[in-house]
Amino acid sequence: MAKTSGKRFMKLAGMTASIAGKAAKNSFKHLSSDEEKRLQARSDLMQDVGIQIAETLGEMKGAVMKVGQIASQYKDVFPPEVATALEKLQKDAPPMPYAQIRAQVERELKAPMAELFSEFDETPFAAASIGQVHKAVLPSGQRVVVKVQYPDVDENCDSDLKQVRMALKIAGVLNMSKQLQEQLFNEIRQSLHDELDYTKEAHNLRVFGAFHADDEGLIIPKVISSHSSRRILTLTEEIGETLTVAATWDNAIKQKIAKRLFHFTAGQLFSLYRMHCDPHPGNFAFRQDGSVVAYDFGGIRSYSDSEVQLFRRFAKHAIKGDVTALEQDLVALDIRRDDDKNIPGEFYEKWLSIGLKPLSIRPYQEGPFDFGSSQIHHEVIAQMRTSLKYFGQFQPSATTMMLDRTVSGQYWNLVNLGVETDLSPLVDEYIDV
């Protein structure tokens, strides 16, 4: 164990030292360059740093790779070049040998494999950064899926996170105050610790299962407590198709799916004050009757009543187009810096005209919105270029970080589903304008 930790540390320390060298060389080399050359050099450095971080983390299983994945999901915190390189880490990780998985299951559940399961597929059907998932059959004949955490992942978690943060800091990637850095990394640390504790995930599955029990067409697997522990989670097998397959179905079915994904996220936020914050398409499966199966309840964020009311007020002011009230909400959310710099109303109006279209909010969008041919993400990039002079007045917010990740993830799910739908009646259910 100590030997593995030492190896990991040396690898990460080597990456940090190399990045420090590159950063120093870059700033010295372009000391007398003009502004444009300096910006181009910084962009090249960021690309280089991003690739180096992604390659180093990609070789290492466990928490460190998970840190990279989480970092790639918080795109507003990192320069685009770094976020793009880290996104590669979202792809499936190579599986761990079955012998190690078997040893982990037997150690955690304190019984031989043959006693625990009548069948256990040696090849995982999904492998991720902190564990992998195997299909199995209980002695009772019930079909289940078993999520097995890789050995020692939790022991390396905090030191891994410290090293990645140091590498990003040295590269000059974290362009924010020390206090905000603390908030964001605490949020990432908390989310990592939560995902590493499968007893917490089992609890979340029971809570969300009860919350959605009467929601027709929203299916959440049930926990098999006898075969679960801190590092093993056994659930009922709930089968469905991938998003790619669902995208080939009729629009009527796709509309049911879109409606359920919307209720899944909005219902949790506004009624449960807790939310499933990992809308990766692999965490959902779909059935031809429009049902949605939801997996992976490790990444849950809880909100206070005052936070939820603030989100609701922000949404209300956005729909009404009340930019003065909206700006105050953004200050309360720690997104807009509380300063005297004047930002014209047109700045906010332009962003509203882009952001509210997918929800079929009039006058920005009349009738159903076609997600399959959506240009919203391109409009956002184009608008960012023209809005650069105001960006110093905004900052990432620890309060909205997980919410941003969830909303943008669900937007991409609907784009990839290729659905054409009018979501405004669903907005009305949650936001009383």
Percent of the chain exceeding pLDDT 70 equals 86
Per-residue model confidence (pLDDT) at position 183? 78
- Whether 270 and 395 map to the same domain: the answer is yes
Domain that holds residue 65: 1-90+156-174
Asked whether the beta carbons of 204 and 300 are under 8 A apart, the reply is yes
Mean pLDDT is lowest, of 85-89, 136-140, 286-290, 356-360, for 85-89
- Whether 77 and 103 map to the same domain: the answer is no
Q: How many distinct structural domains can be found in the chain?
A: 3
Mean pLDDT is lowest, of 247-251, 299-303, 364-368, for 299-303
Q: What is the rounded distance in angstroms from the CA atom of residue 123 to the CA atom of residue 143?
A: 16
∠ CA 118-122-126 to the nearest 5 degrees?
115
Extract the tokens encoding 290: 């429009």
Q: Is the pLDDT of residue 222 over 50?
A: yes
- Whether 10 and 135 map to the same domain: the answer is no
Residues in the chain, total: 433
- Whether 313 and 219 map to the same domain: the answer is no
Asked whether the beta carbons of 212 and 220 are under 8 A apart, the reply is yes
pLDDT band of 89, cuts 50, 70, 90: low
Q: What is the rounded distance in angstroms from the CA atom of residue 221 to the CA atom of residue 412?
A: 24
Residue 184: inside a domain: no
Starting at the earlier edge strand, list the strands of the sheet with 292-294: 218-219, 292-294, 284-286
The tens digit of pLDDT for each residue in 332-380 reads 999 998 888 889 999 999 999 999 999 999 999 999 999 999 999 889 8
Residue scoring higher pLDDT (191 or 290) = 290
Residue scoring higher pLDDT (67 or 339) = 339
Per-residue model confidence (pLDDT) at position 150? 86
Residue 179: inside a domain: no
- Whether 131 and 162 map to the same domain: the answer is no
CATH of the domain at 122: 3.30.200
Residue 191: inside a domain: no
CB burial readout 330-366, b (16+ within 10 A) else e: bebbbbbeeeeeebeeebbeebbbbbbbbbbbeebbe
Residue 65: inside a domain: yes
Residue 189: inside a domain: no
Per-residue model confidence (pLDDT) at position 1? 45
- Whether 324 and 418 map to the same domain: the answer is yes
Sequence-ordered list of residues with C-beta below 8 angstroms from that of 253, at least 6 positions apart, any chain: 246, 288, 289, 290
Range 117-146 average pLDDT: 92
pLDDT band of 112, cuts 50, 70, 90: very high
Residue 187: inside a domain: no
DSSP 119: E
Range 95-123 average pLDDT: 95
The tens digit of pLDDT for each residue in 8-41 reads 777 777 877 887 787 777 766 656 556 677 777 7
Q: How far is CA 125 from the centre of its chain?
A: 21
Q: What is the rounded distance in angstroms from the CA atom of residue 400 to the CA atom of residue 330?
A: 10
pLDDT band of 73, cuts 50, 70, 90: low
DSSP 150: P
- Whether 13 and 101 map to the same domain: the answer is no
- Whether 263 and 338 map to the same domain: the answer is yes
Q: Is the pLDDT of residue 186 over 50?
A: yes
